[in-house]
Amino acid sequence: MNKNTLIAVAMMIAAMLLLPTGDGVGKYLGSVTLYSAGFLAWSRYIVGLATVTPIALANGAFSGLGRDFVIRQAIRGFFNAGAIFCILKAVKTVPLADSYGAFFIAPVVATLLAFFVLKEKVRLVEWVAVILGFVGVLLVVQPSGQLSTGLIWALASGTCFACFMISTRWSAGTAPPLAQLFGQLFFGFLFTIPLGLSDLLAHGIVLPAIVIAMGLISALANLLQILAFAQARAAFLAPFVYSQIIAATSISWFFFGDQLNGLAMIGLAIIFSTGFLKIQPRSRPSGPA
């Protein structure tokens, strides 16, 4: 495994640890304010755009971009907005760790899409890592078998996130990372205007520092994903999505009082093992990850 691939792995794991942190902040805001999931998603895009736009302009990130850029970023923005909106709907009604248990359909769907849509070669070790990771998630979450409305929202979020990952890999190399992040945020903002504007008019701005923190965390996580997918295949990176359960479980435990038991600890250990399985060096040279 080359240096660029290891960097991609590090960036992907960092992004996956940041995303549940932002969702945990969103869960808190949803519990102490009257804001809807739509407003919380919309506010992330506003904060992200206010941060990224001047930096992208200063770096000339939009030079030479055309119709193809707009189409690809609109698709990415649509799936990103769907993933954020659905997970925020989920975490308002079920524990954060449970939400992510259903959300983790994402690596399985992403691996299938990488194989069938992007025509990527999916190695046996990547299928094994996806399956083992999902088993680990089930041990952590220990679902009751009752498919609540919150878990349906989480499943929808995971499906949207898988499509977002695939579209991010599909867009890799078509524009500078800052331009891609701007496009994702801009179209996500457009798609969520109807959901967020009514809340803003009804409730005004409440706890602005926390709303800004949530937006900055989300923007950084998405930038790291873009950089990671520019370096490695979608099928290779998909199992690292399971690292989100580490952050989600920790936040649920420390801040929302959700307890861990022995099976959950075993599940976390399995999830860790999938990462080590993927980053083992190969004995002979091969193509890029």
Predicted confidence (pLDDT) per residue in 9-21, tens digit:
999 999 999 998 9
- Contacts made by residues 145-150, CB under 8 angstroms, sequence distance 24+: 148/93, 148/94, 149/93, 150/89, 150/90, 150/91, 150/92, 150/93, 150/94, 150/98, 150/99
At residue 289, does pLDDT exceed 60? no
pLDDT > 70 fraction of the chain, expressed in percent and rounded? 89
Helix (H) or strand (E) holding 199: helix 177-203
Domain ranges for the chain: 3-279
Say what the pTM is.
0.84
Dihedral sign (CA 161, 258, 260, 98): negative
Which residue do the tokens 């890029």 mark?
Answer: 288
Q: What is the mean pLDDT of the chain?
A: 86
Would you state the pLDDT for residue 24?
A: 86
| pLDDT mean over 88-109 | 81
Q: How far is CA 239 from the centre of its chain?
A: 12
Q: Given a cut of 80, is residue 259 above it in pLDDT?
A: no
Confidence of residue 80 (pLDDT cuts 50, 70, 90): very high
How high is the pLDDT of residue 125?
A: 87
Task: Say if residue 27's pLDDT is above 80.
Answer: yes
Which burial class, exposed, middle or buried, applies to 66 when counting CB atoms under 10 A from its CB (0-12, 13-18, 19+)? Answer: exposed
Position 143 pLDDT exceeds 70 = no
Mean predicted confidence (pLDDT) in 230-252: 84
In this prediction, residue 134 carries a pLDDT of 83
pLDDT band at 33 (very low <50, low <70, confident <90, very high): very high
pLDDT for residue 203: 92
248 confidence band (pLDDT: 50, 70, 90): confident
Contact 104, 134 (CB under 8 A): yes
